[in-house]
Amino acid sequence: MAERARTRVAVLGSGNIGTDLMIKVLRTSDVLEMAALAGIDPGSDGLARASRLGVPTTHRGVEGLLELDGFADVGLVFDATSAGAHRRHAEVLLPHGVRLVDLTPAALGPYVVPPVNLEEHLAAPDLNMVTCGGQATVPVVAAVSRVTPVRYAEIVASLSSRSAGPGTRANIDEFTETTRRALEEVGGAAAAKAVIVLNPAEPPLLMRDTVHCVVGPEADGGAVCAAVEHAVAEVAAYVPGYRLKQEVQLRALPAGDPTAALGGGSGSARLVSVFLEVEGAAHYLPAYAGNLDIMTSAALRVAERLATR
């Protein structure tokens, strides 16, 4: 049987995330083919590395990408730039019939977390990858929500300050708001809050994510733990460094405890606490940059599913 033609993809953004995506496509994908890497810094390591690997490049951003030979054959573009830039890129690219996988917090298209809701959005022209915190924690909140209503979810994403580049730092507000909305809209929490911590520790620490879910007193603890463990295994299938740092914890919150009242609850409640660690695959980024690796791995998962649907 003839080999299936690979989907040609381009990456916008020649920084850490865009470069790591390019290398993942080149090294690990058997359904995607790199068509181009586009940036705006002619001296970036990403563009230099792409040239050495034989990938066509441009330092003129999306305009340069449109002018590259072979752009007409590109079926999908990863956008690894910024929220503001993605809004312009979408206006330019969508009329060309190109699918977009958006790794910025722009959220023009639906939020997509692969093991939770990818199949619902395969026809969307612009799919948003939420944030690194969202990719790490939404599957857990969604897992708890499938077992019992989540009155309130709160997550804290702690990542090494060395893995937070200019794009991440410029989009902190978008990060917290986008993650919060995804916890509610995709994760199923009635209310949510997201916090990001840039940890300056040296040597750099791995990404850590803490997830707290306030649920009713009737919640089945065994079912909750099993659901969370299953969700972690689903994410680990495409992010091997994603794991539980310790066993899922549940404790009773008595009536009158202020935590029990979060999300508009009343009476007693239970608190589900999940502690996660994310180690990067170190394809291009250092292993401690699990926050970036989970984004590129999730985006690759989405693109490969789009290519094979």
Residues with a known catalytic role: 132
Is 199 annotated to bind ligand?
no
Is 155 annotated to bind ligand?
no
Q: Are strands 32-38 and 99-102 parallel, antiparallel or unpaired?
A: unpaired
Is 167 annotated to bind ligand?
yes
Q: Which parts of 93-168 are beta strand (E)? A: 99-102, 126-128, 150-160
How crowded is residue 64: how many other Cβ atoms within 10 Å of its Cβ? 16
In angstroms, the CA 262 to CA 51 distance is 52
Is 176 annotated to bind ligand?
no
Is 17 annotated to bind ligand?
yes
Is 61 annotated to bind ligand?
no
Q: Using CA atoms in the order 74, 78, 80, 81, what is the torsion angle rounded to 10 degrees?
A: 50
Is 166 annotated to bind ligand?
yes
Helices (H) and strands (E) in the chain, counts: 10, 12
How many alpha carbons fall within 13 Å on the CB side of residue 295?
33
- Which of 285, 280, 143, 156 is closest to 220 using CA atoms? 143
Is 161 annotated to bind ligand?
no
- Which of 139, 186, 171, 187 is closest to 294 using CA atoms? 139
Q: Greatest CA span in the chain, whole angstroms?
A: 66
Please work out, in degrees rounded to the nearest 5, the angle formed at the alpha carbon of residue 65 by the alpha carbons of 61 and 67.
Answer: 120
Is 171 annotated to bind ligand?
yes
Is 107 annotated to bind ligand?
no
Annotated binding-site positions for NAD(+): 14-17, 163-171, 291
List the binding residues.
14-17, 163-171, 291
